[in-house]
Chains A and B, each alone.
Chain A
Amino acid sequence: MSFVATRAAKAVGLVGGQRRSVSKRVVTRAKVRELFMPALSSTMTEGKIVSWLKGSGEKISKGESIVVVESDKADMDVETFYDGYIGSIVVPDGGTAAVGEPIAYIAETEAELEEAKSKGAGGAPAAAAAPAAAPEPEAAPAPAAPAPAPEAAAPAAPPPPAAAPAPAPVKRADGRVIATPYAKKLAKELGVDLSAIGGSGPNGRITASDVEMAKSGNGAPAAAAPAAAAAAPAPAAASSAPAKSAPKPAAAAPAGDGEIQPFSSMQSAVAKNMEASLPIPVSRVAYTITTDKFDALYKRLKPKGVTMTALLSKAVAVALTKHPIMYAACTPAGDGIIYNEHINIAVAVAMPDGGLITPVLQDADKTDIYQLSRNWGDLVSRARSKQLAPDEYSTGTFTISNLGMYGVDKFDAILPVGTGTIMAVGGSKPTVVATAEGMIGVEKQMTINLTTDHRIIYGADAAEFCQTLKAVIENPDDLTM
């Protein structure tokens, strides 16, 4: 499904006959080694195990991929640096661990396999000790280099209003959960607990549409802790229903009447980035721009595959070439300005499962509008399937968030940490105006709202940029060149 990052790496490695390994941390301790949750991106604090490619007791050799980890942005293969045997797996498929926490024990020789296994079995103390021990060697803070984390700011589109009640999903009388392969896959992706919902298929079988229905709010409440739920595999579910329902009220209790749904990796990354934006002093500048010519141009280019996002990004990029400060960033220490070399426009995209990601149009000023549109189409489709490589969502130097298509007039965006400006774009609508000739006319106008890091970008800087951008958008013919 989503392995682009590593696949690309492999393609390079394969040519040389050897493979390049992805960033990973394996820390030595005696002969039985711990395999730690690696930091796959600068913003990653915890990772989810998508699947173990190797099982307990299996032989592994250096450079072999042994586990697929879902970070906040993408799924990646993790390779081992050592030859040996997997002793025990501490964090199973679907489980989550913080970066630097042990996820498995690796024995160097078969003889040590038992020791490695017992380490995992005595899991509680080992796991408890780990967080204390792990950070010191290598799981240090993220690299100091400016690693922009444009976890974009625009609020995600609100979920559509709840649809009509589900047809008639029924739970099986025998308490078993029978779900089709796609339903299971979807449930895993959407974080829906299959044991909590009924099925509309034959004999109460849960189908993909039941899972979607449950997700959209009509289903029974999901269990609170997926980790705990995952511990009970399907066969165990054959045991009586009362036993299963017992833990649920207990888990749900703290939440009162509502339900708690744990964050997905991406949602927690968004939440953390939002909190990190709080200490930054920002100012806001709004501006109104007439878009009649711009819209006309878009209409002309649309049949050639040009998208509004690409066109807007192009206009912004062209305007930015005259205002380097607008795509600069403040140093993490707050003592200087980083003037970026590239105009990389990050555009916030709401994901269908509630996350938010900012695919980046690299060098938008230098790329022609058609290529830009193609790049964008590709980025969005791969973002939806979580296949973006880190440099495809984390290298933006200016962010755009557009809610115009929802008819939003104007809104406020939160500045992503590590960048200087985010631009919130409202919808364009016909407005009665007094023209320069003193006549009353109708023009289509839209409002943009810039949120800037006031440590480096002052109101006047933002206003000057707005002027330039207005000029570009109101005389857009140059954009096609």
Chain B
Amino acid sequence: MVSMTTNAGFRAQARAAMAAPRSAAVRRSSPSLVGASESALTTNRKSLYNRNATCRMIGHVDPRPELRSHGPVSCRAASYDYDVCIIGCGVGGHGAALHAVQQGLKTCIIEGHDIGGTCVNRGCVPSKALLAASGRIREMQNEMHLKAMGIQVGSVSFDRQGVADHASQLASNIQGNLKNSLVAIGVDIHVGMAKFVDNHTIAYGLPGRVDVGGQVTAKDVIIATGSVPFVPPGIKIDGKTVFTSDHALKLEWIPEWVAIIGSGYIGLEFSDVYTALGSEVTFIEAVDKIMPGFDNEIARLAQRTLITPRNIDSRTGVLATNVKQGVPGVKPVEIELTDFNTKEVVDVMEVDACLVATGRVPFTQGLSIDKIGAETDRRGFVPVTDKMEVLGKDGKPVPHVYCIGDANGKYMLAHAASAQGISAIENIKGRPHVLNHNSVPAACFTHPEVSFVGLTEEQAREKAEEEKFEVGVVKTSFKANSKALAELEGDGMAKAIFRKDTGEILGVWIIGLHAADLIHEASNAVATNQTIQDLKFNVHAHPTLSEVLDELFKHAEVDPPKQEGAKKSPPAKSAAAAPA
């Protein structure tokens, strides 16, 4: 363990580094932050080279026995092409690259498909375009709601192709921005599918192309290859009547009745889009309730605002074991439903289209990570340590190889990947860093939005049972918020779950207007180890939706400190800094 002061030092550094904005444009506009990270950089450069000196000497064998034990791992000559090579240019790889350059590392990226990865091309970004358009349509079709504000609209119609184009244009726009932001700071982008030769050497190429490809060497390598939609066995994708989010985002047609297999974020967001565009939706969920990952109370409110008033029903506790493709407008899709417990076929549904939203699987095939003495787990994830180092078959970290984002499966969200990328660079720079995943917020961009950070109330109570502490729960309603009422969007609530004894924030959930934007006050508080009573003193502009959280925190009552003897400061969480 490092001493408290070092620990705090690391934390401060890490925080300064984390605070450095990601996009180049923003960075220019905030010189003070850049200055802070750069001073950190100069002080650390020395230690970096010292630490790795043994590895840089020609012909020298690394004296550390744990490294020698890796047969195929080379510890080779000093002259690498790059300091860092990042495989995959999704949001994770992009975040890592920006931070690497900022830390003075010569960086390259190898990308086999599209710059921007899933999020930008086939995920969060285009789906937000669809949700934005369909949200407007829903709003304008809600005559009563508009009338209550004194607005009258004629008939509302939309052009499917126009909505679809908005999504694809947004994706290509963001893709361009992303690429430019990397090129502008001198990151080399190589095109091709990457393959390990050893832990410092990557070969890349495209199948069937002899003109593309090559080999690069780098001192450190970060795997950031991401994921692809998971399609359960028995389901054949045709991209027309049976499809995944990849195809659905193109919005090539609007089926009258869509079955959505899986009621997680992806399924929920698409149900929001489809119902706004006039489709009817049936959820097929293997667990016995829809929205299984949600806090129960939030799920219930979500049910009432996002499901019940819309043309949505659900089949729970069943698996779609066989899906037969249809022909749009001619032959329906047939979905065989099997009871999750008894494994008996219980029904065959006939719908117009079937969206498979059963989660995602890592895209790690073809990486040849056996060449570096590692292997993926049963589902294809690359095992990693808390510091994002790839774990070898022997259970020890493979030197100089890291894996971030969906490929390691720790938290499959774009911004989590980016945070992990920054964390990996910190570790590469010799500043041990562990990302606190409990501080990573998540959001579902339905209308209204749902967002959270940390645990559900149920998980928190379980933890409390085990660790013997008391849980406090506070809630506020959007109905009591002036801004929400001005928007006539009073449906929604926020709840915070915390330790009664210390005020440590265990989880915060929000459902309501702009919930996805509101969660950051809570997630940043968790990331910086603030207690709920610290937050009571923060000031929020009136009237804003942020007052929903203001009110929430003010309601929280934390036990007064016990008598003198038992007095303890809030527990130091190893959140931002790891034991060295």
Q: Hey, which bits of chain A sit against chain B, CB under 8 A?
A: 1, 3, 7-8, 10-11, 14-15, 17, 53, 55, 65, 178, 180-182, 184-185, 201-203, 205, 234-235, 238, 305, 374, 377-378, 381
Residue in B147, B280, B474, B480 whose CB lies within 8 Å of A180: B280
**Known contacts A14-B477, A202-B332; A184/B313 CB under 8 A:** yes
Known: A181-B312, A381-B144. 20 other contacts (CB 8 A): A1-B304, A1-B308, A8-B479, A11-B479, A15-B551, A17-B473, A17-B475, A180-B311, A181-B257, A181-B281, A181-B313, A182-B280, A202-B329, A202-B331, A202-B332, A202-B350, A203-B350, A205-B257, A235-B347, A377-B148
Total number of residue pairs linking A and B with CB closer than 8 Å: 67
A15 touching B309, Cβ below 8 Å: no
B474 touching A17, Cβ below 8 Å: yes
Q: What residue in chain B is nearest A385 (Cβ atoms)?
A: B309
A377 touching B350, Cβ below 8 Å: no
Set of chain B residues within 8 Å of A180, measured between Cβ atoms: 256-257, 280, 311
**Known contacts A181-B257, A181-B280; A17/B555 CB under 8 A:** yes
**Known contacts A180-B257, A203-B332, A377-B148; A15/B555 CB under 8 A:** yes
Set of chain A residues within 8 Å of B332, measured between Cβ atoms: 202-203, 205
Q: Hey, which bits of chain B sit against chain A, CB under 8 A?
A: 144, 147-148, 150, 256-257, 280-282, 288, 300, 304, 308-309, 311-313, 329-332, 346-347, 349-350, 352, 473-477, 479-480, 493, 551, 555, 557
**Known contacts A182-B311, A305-B150; A53/B300 CB under 8 A:** yes
B477 touching A15, Cβ below 8 Å: yes
Residue in B282, B309, B551 whose CB lies within 8 Å of A1: B309
Which has the most chain B C-beta neighbours within 10 Å: A8, A202, A378, A381?
Answer: A202
Expressed in whole angstroms, the Cα–Cα distance for A185 and B275 within the complex equals 14
Q: What residue in chain A is nearest B555 (Cβ atoms)?
A: A17
Set of chain A residues within 8 Å of B309, measured between Cβ atoms: 1
Which has the most chain A C-beta neighbours within 10 Å: B329, B473, B475?
Answer: B475
Set of chain B residues within 8 Å of A305, measured between Cβ atoms: 150
**Known contacts A1-B309, A181-B312, A378-B148; A14/B493 CB under 8 A:** yes
Set of chain A residues within 8 Å of B474, measured between Cβ atoms: 17
Q: What residue in chain A is nearest B312 (Cβ atoms)?
A: A181
A-B CB contact pairs (8 Å), 15 listed = A1-B304, A1-B309, A11-B479, A14-B475, A17-B555, A180-B311, A181-B313, A202-B330, A202-B331, A202-B332, A203-B350, A205-B332, A205-B350, A374-B148, A377-B147
Main secondary structure of the interface of B (DSSP, over half): mixed
A181 touching B311, Cβ below 8 Å: yes
Set of chain A residues within 8 Å of B331, measured between Cβ atoms: 202
Expressed in whole angstroms, the Cα–Cα distance for A180 and B332 within the complex equals 13
Which has the most chain B C-beta neighbours within 10 Å: A181, A201, A205?
Answer: A181
Shortest beta-carbon distance, B59 to chain A, in Å? 67
Set of chain A residues within 8 Å of B148, measured between Cβ atoms: 374, 377-378
Set of chain B residues within 8 Å of A7, measured between Cβ atoms: 479
Shortest beta-carbon distance, B395 to chain A, in Å? 39
Q: What residue in chain B is nearest A377 (Cβ atoms)?
A: B147
Shortest beta-carbon distance, B240 to chain A, in Å? 16
Set of chain A residues within 8 Å of B479, measured between Cβ atoms: 7-8, 11
Q: What residue in chain A is nearest B495 (Cβ atoms)?
A: A14
B480 touching A178, Cβ below 8 Å: no
Q: What residue in chain A is nearest B557 (Cβ atoms)?
A: A17
Shortest beta-carbon distance, B369 to chain A, in Å? 44
Expressed in whole angstroms, the Cα–Cα distance for A324 and B555 within the complex equals 46
Q: What residue in chain A is nearest B145 (Cβ atoms)?
A: A381
Nearest 4 A-B pairs (CB), nearest first?
A: A182-B311, A181-B313, A11-B479, A11-B477
Expressed in whole angstroms, the Cα–Cα distance for A62 and B74 within the complex equals 63
Expressed in whole angstroms, the Cα–Cα distance for A181 and B254 within the complex equals 16
Expressed in whole angstroms, the Cα–Cα distance for A286 and B352 within the complex equals 59
Shortest beta-carbon distance, A458 to chain B, in Å? 43
Shortest beta-carbon distance, B285 to chain A, in Å? 14
Shortest beta-carbon distance, A192 to chain B, in Å? 16
Expressed in whole angstroms, the Cα–Cα distance for A263 and B494 within the complex equals 40
Q: What residue in chain A is nearest B314 (Cβ atoms)?
A: A181
Shortest beta-carbon distance, A170 to chain B, in Å? 14
**Known contacts A53-B300, A378-B148; A14/B313 CB under 8 A:** no
Expressed in whole angstroms, the Cα–Cα distance for A3 and B305 within the complex equals 11
Q: What residue in chain A is nearest B283 (Cβ atoms)?
A: A181
Q: What residue in chain A is nearest B556 (Cβ atoms)?
A: A17
Expressed in whole angstroms, the Cα–Cα distance for A205 and B350 within the complex equals 8
Expressed in whole angstroms, the Cα–Cα distance for A181 and B555 within the complex equals 41
Set of chain B residues within 8 Å of A378, measured between Cβ atoms: 148
Set of chain B residues within 8 Å of A202, measured between Cβ atoms: 329-332, 350, 352
Shortest beta-carbon distance, B460 to chain A, in Å? 15
A3 touching B304, Cβ below 8 Å: yes
Q: What residue in chain A is nearest B257 (Cβ atoms)?
A: A180
Expressed in whole angstroms, the Cα–Cα distance for A204 and B442 within the complex equals 42
Expressed in whole angstroms, the Cα–Cα distance for A202 and B257 within the complex equals 11
